Amino acid sequence: MNPISFLTQMIRIAVPYLFAASGGVIAERSGIISLSLEGYMLTGAFSATLGAHYSGSAWIGVLAGMFGGLIFGLIHAVASIRYRADQVVTGIAINLLAIGVTRFFLKLAFASSSNSPRVAGFGGNINAHGFDNPLLWMGLLVAPVLAFLVYRTPFGLRVRAVGEHPAAASSLGIKTSLVQYVAVAISGILAALGGVFLALDQHQFTDQMTAGRGFIAVAAVIFGRWDPVRAALACLLFAAAETLQIQLQGNQLIPSQFIEMIPYALTIIALAGVVGRAVPPAALGKAAE
Amino acid sequence: MSSRFRENIEEALFPPLVALLVALICGDLLIMSYGQSPAIVYRLLLEGTWGNAYGFGQVLYKATTLIFTGLAVSLGIRAGLFNVGAESQLAAGGFLAALLGLALSPSMPGILAVFLCIIAAIIGGAIVGAIPGWLKVRFGAHEVIVTIMLNFIVLALLNYIVAAKLHVPETLHTPEIGNGGLARLESFIPAFHGSAANLTIVVALIAAALTWIYLFKSRRGYEMRAVGLQPEAAEYGGVNVGATWMRAMVLSGAIAGLGGINYVLGYKYYYEEGFAGGSGFLGIAVALVGRNHPLGVVLAALFFATLSQGGLAIHAFVPKQMVEVLQGVVILAVAMSVPEVRAALRRARKPATA
């Protein structure tokens, strides 16, 4: 196995996870459960394809994808914060809604139930191995930037305060629901960029192209104990396992299904506290009164 | 007493009605975006589902699986647990039923084989439900995340077993079981000809009735609801919260697993990769819309089954994916209106009682 090709493939697999897990971290640190990452990614991928198709520009596609994620993030935010709906239920509803909406508009816009036509995108230079894609570099930078935002800025302090103890935050004059709205909106945009990367890397949208990646990101958030950098490392770890599976194909040492299980099994082990307990933000899932 | 009953009914009925209204409006917009007339499309949807015996049979078939997953989710919620794992519990139940069906001798009396396969399905689901129950009670691991993660693990494991050991070449399914099949409804009512509806619907209705008796008429069910409302208070009242949670997860998994027989014993007579396809997640919607009451679950299952079968009926005019959008809209609208309706009703009642 060639270490360079292993590393490049691992990074390309990791980028969608890196975006989505960062989205998950910021929303959950503000106290809002994010099982909807998969839905944001799928909407992001589809809106980006629409944008790139009608404008002919990949960058307009990126903006459209971010907008799609923002809309779905705001739906989750309004349902969870304004209407105090059960956040697990809304998260799952967002995922179902995203599948339905993307399929319906795929049919409406492109008269297809499986994929869009080829659209503008990034990369394509074989020798660059995908590293000529600006979104890939953004994906690698998103975790350190988020860590700075969460730990070094007043906004980050507010997010953490609201996620740990909303009543105390509120008594200090922090508008808790405003902080949560912004955090969930950022979460929708970030996770959507993961889907945008997929669509513009492949230059098209295919039905359900995110294929459960949003749930791997959820696993990474928990395995990374709600910390931006640790979550990013978890994404790289999960991507490494996946790369190993792809590169070992043909060599039947470990069946691929067992490699698929790794992120989920590690997350359960982390939750059960066998190797250091994963403790969520204290007010996660509790709607403010 | 009767006014309390009326209040409960109001709190239960308003959110689904609000959701239905919102869904109808969204449906209108989607239909018109496709340049069709909402009235015609809605009429087609009803004619293709409740308007003919075949369509109605398909609704019954689809509702059957949803009754099981809906009951499973709602039983968990009554105990204060959110079981998001109905998807893999259903698959595991269907898998064990098929496995036993394959192993049983074809000369065994059919009724005994069916009985054994049903037990196998219950055990399959119960095992998958027991794992998150144990992890919660023993380590405090949150059941939502564990059941989601377990969905992927269990489905990958079953896919591996089928792909590596059991599948018919060129397919993703096991061979047909020689014994243990359940009769189709068409063999009693010929009008159902061609539809997949089968005797599992009877099992589903029995399961709903038993769940009701268990939850509302038995001591264990009372304890379960007490734990669901306020675990600390229940503990103080002498209820073993851990054991109750464990019991709830095992039962919830068992009910979901039992749902696997609808496809495996009643329709295809084999286990196929992906047969559960979304029924577990829709079970959450069914439990939510059915307000976690067995009767509500049965009605909500019929509603969601009508939507999904209705999608096929309107496909010539509007893409069937429209109903997937509407499903999402209904879930969101119900989830958003439950706390809202409760608060509004309480406000409205206050002056009357004061």
pLDDT tens for each residue of B165-174: 888 888 888 8
Residue A257 lies inside a defined structural domain of this protein = yes
CA A188 to chain centre: 8
Partner residues linked to B198 by β-bridges = B184
Which of B157, B159, B340 lies at the smallest CB-CB distance from A83? B340
pLDDT at B215 over 90: yes
pLDDT at B100 over 70: yes
Residue A282 lies inside a defined structural domain of this protein = no
Q: What is the pLDDT, as a whole number, of residue B194?
A: 83
Q: What is the pLDDT, as a whole number, of residue A13?
A: 95
What's the whole-number average pLDDT of chain A?
91
Q: What is the pLDDT, as a whole number, of residue A289?
A: 44
Inter-chain residue contact B148 with A273, CB threshold 8 Å? no
Q: What is the pLDDT, as a whole number, of residue A5?
A: 86
Residue A15 lies inside a defined structural domain of this protein = yes
Q: What is the pLDDT, as a whole number, of residue A252?
A: 65
Residue B214 phi/psi, 5-degree rounding, is: -60, -45
Residue A289 lies inside a defined structural domain of this protein = no
Segment among A37-41, A223-227, A278-282, B107-111 with least mean pLDDT: A278-282
Q: Which residues of B touch A219 (CB under 8 A)?
A: 149
Partner residues linked to A206 by β-bridges = A115
Q: How do the domains of chain B map onto residue ranges?
A: 65-305
The amino acid sitting at A160 is: R
Partner residues linked to B272 by β-bridges = B173
Q: What is the pLDDT, as a whole number, of residue A118?
A: 93
Residue A226 lies inside a defined structural domain of this protein = yes
Averaged pLDDT, B4-27: 86
pTM value is 0.93
- Contacts of range B31-35, beta carbons closer than 8 Å, 24 or more positions apart: B31/B318, B31/B322, B33/A108, B34/A108, B34/B317, B34/B318, B34/B319
Coil, strand or helix: which one is A119? coil
Q: What is the pLDDT, as a whole number, of residue A277?
A: 63
CA B96, CA A153: separation in Å to the nearest integer? 54
Q: What is the pLDDT, as a whole number, of residue A184?
A: 97
What is B294-318 written as a DSSP string?
HHHHHHHHHHHHHHHHHHHHHTTTS
Residue B173 phi/psi, 5-degree rounding, is: -125, 165
Higher pLDDT pick, A251 / B278:
B278
CA B63, CA B91: separation in Å to the nearest integer? 17
* Sign of the dihedral through C-alpha B205, B210, B213, B216: negative
Q: What is the pLDDT, as a whole number, of residue B251?
A: 98
Best-predicted range by mean pLDDT (A125-134, B126-135, B338-347): B126-135
CA B86, CA B209: separation in Å to the nearest integer? 19
CA B318, CA B323: separation in Å to the nearest integer? 10
pLDDT at A64 over 50: yes
Residue A126 lies inside a defined structural domain of this protein = no
Please return the burial class of A71, using the count of CB atoms within 10 Å of its CB with bins 0-12, 13-18 and 19+.
Answer: middle
What is B112-135 written as a DSSP string?
HHHHHHHHHHHHHHHHHHHHHHHH
Task: Residue A120: count other Cβ atoms within 10 Å of its Cβ.
Answer: 18
Q: How far is A129 from chain B (nearest CA, A)?
A: 30
Q: What is the pLDDT, as a whole number, of residue A276?
A: 57
pLDDT at A278 over 50: yes
Q: How far is A56 from chain B (nearest CA, A)?
A: 24
Averaged pLDDT, B194-212: 94
pLDDT at A110 over 70: yes
**A73-101 tens-digit pLDDT:** 999 999 999 999 999 999 999 999 999 99
CA A38, CA A96: separation in Å to the nearest integer? 10
**Total number of residues shown for chain B:** 354
Q: What is the pLDDT, as a whole number, of residue B193?
A: 84
Is B322's Cβ below 8 Å from some Cβ in A? yes
Which domain CATH number covers A181?
Answer: 1.10.3470.10
Inter-chain residue contact B319 with A104, CB threshold 8 Å? yes
User: Minimal Cα distance from B146: which residue of A?
Assistant: A268
Q: How far is B147 from chain A (nearest CA, A)?
A: 9
Which of A85, A97, A260 lies at the smallest CB-CB distance from B328? A97
pLDDT at B303 over 60: yes
Averaged pLDDT, A44-72: 96
Number of domains composing chain A: 1
Q: What is the pLDDT, as a whole number, of residue B185?
A: 85
CA A252 to chain centre: 31
Q: What is the pLDDT, as a whole number, of residue B2?
A: 67
Q: How far is A208 from chain B (nearest CA, A)?
A: 13
Instruction: At B326, list the tokens.
Output: 């509407």
Higher pLDDT pick, A125 / B61:
B61
What's the whole-number average pLDDT of chain B?
91
Question: B310 CB contacts (<8 Å, ≥6 apart)?
Answer: B45, B46, B48, B49, B323
Nearest alpha-carbon partner for B226 in B80, B39, B72, B353:
B80
B/e letters for B3-19, b = 16+ CB within 10 Å, e = fewer, are eeeeeeeeebebbbebb
% of residues, chain A, pLDDT over 70: 95
CA R_g for chain B: 21
What is the pLDDT confidence band of residue B105, given thresholds at 50, 70 and 90? confident
Task: Residue A201: count other Cβ atoms within 10 Å of its Cβ.
Answer: 19
What is the pLDDT confidence band of residue B354, given thresholds at 50, 70 and 90? very low
Inter-chain residue contact B332 with A79, CB threshold 8 Å? yes
Residue A242 lies inside a defined structural domain of this protein = yes
User: Minimal Cα distance from A276: which residue of B?
Assistant: B139
Question: A211 CB contacts (<8 Å, ≥6 apart)?
Answer: none
Domain that holds residue A220: 3-120+133-272
pLDDT at B182 over 80: yes
Inter-chain residue contact B152 with A104, CB threshold 8 Å? no
Inter-chain residue contact A96 with B288, CB threshold 8 Å? no
Q: Where are the alpha helices (DSSP H) in A111-153?
A: 134-152
What is the pLDDT confidence band of residue B255, given thresholds at 50, 70 and 90? very high
